[in-house]
Amino acid sequence: MHQAKVTLDPAFTVAPVRRRTFGTFVEHLGRCVYTGIYEPDHPTADDDGFRGDVLGLTRELGVSTVRYPGGNFVSGYRWEDGIGPVERRPRRLDLAWHSTETNEVGVDEFVRWCRKAGVEPMMAVNLGTRGIAEALDLLEYCNHPSGTTLSDLRVANGSKEPHGIRMWCLGNEMDGPWQTGHKTPREYGRLAAETARALRMVDPKLELVACGSSSSSMPTFGTWEAEVLAETYDLVDYISCHAYYEEKDGDLGSFLACSTDMEYFISSVVATADHVGARLKSRKKIDISFDEWNVWYLSRFHDTGTPEDWPVAPPLLEDHYHLADAVAFGGLLITLLRNSDRVSAASLAQLVNVIAPIMTEPGGRAWRQTTFHPFAQASRFATGDVLRVEPDSPAYETKAYGEVPLLHAVATHDAEGTTLFAVNRSTGGPLSLEIDARALGGVRVVEATTLTDADVYARNTADDPTRIAPRPNPDVEAGPLRVLLPPVSWNVIRLA
Helix (H, G, I), strand (E, B) or coil at 119: coil
The Cα 160–Cα 142 span in angstroms is 10
Please identify which of the residues 134, 173, 225, 247 carries the catalytic annotation: 173
Please name the residues in contact with 260: beta carbons below 8 A apart, sequence gap of 6 or more.
398, 400, 401, 404
DSSP summary character for residue 11: T
Whether 358 and 366 have beta carbons less than 8 Å apart is answered as yes
Whether 2 and 289 have beta carbons less than 8 Å apart is answered as no
The Cα 359–Cα 353 span in angstroms is 5
Strands 366-368 and 287-295: unpaired
The Cα 42–Cα 61 span in angstroms is 21
Question: Cα-flanking dihedrals φ and ψ of residue 367, to 5°?
Answer: -150, 165
Does residue 69 have a cis bond before it (omega within 30 degrees)?
Answer: yes
Please identify which of the residues 27, 80, 104, 292 carries the catalytic annotation: 292
Please name the residues in contact with 465: beta carbons below 8 A apart, sequence gap of 6 or more.
367, 368
The Cα 228–Cα 19 span in angstroms is 27
SS3 content of the chain, % helix, strand, coil (to 5): 30, 25, 45
Which among 326, 330, 303, 325 has a CA at the least distance from the CA of 316? 303
The Cα 483–Cα 485 span in angstroms is 6
Whether 134 sits among the annotated catalytic residues: the reply is: no
Instruction: Give, rounded to a whole angstrom, the gap between the first and last alpha carbons of the chain.
Output: 28
Question: Cα-flanking dihedrals φ and ψ of residue 265, to 5°?
Answer: -60, -50
Whether 87 sits among the annotated catalytic residues: the reply is: no
The Cα 353–Cα 357 span in angstroms is 8
- Residues that are catalytic: 173, 292
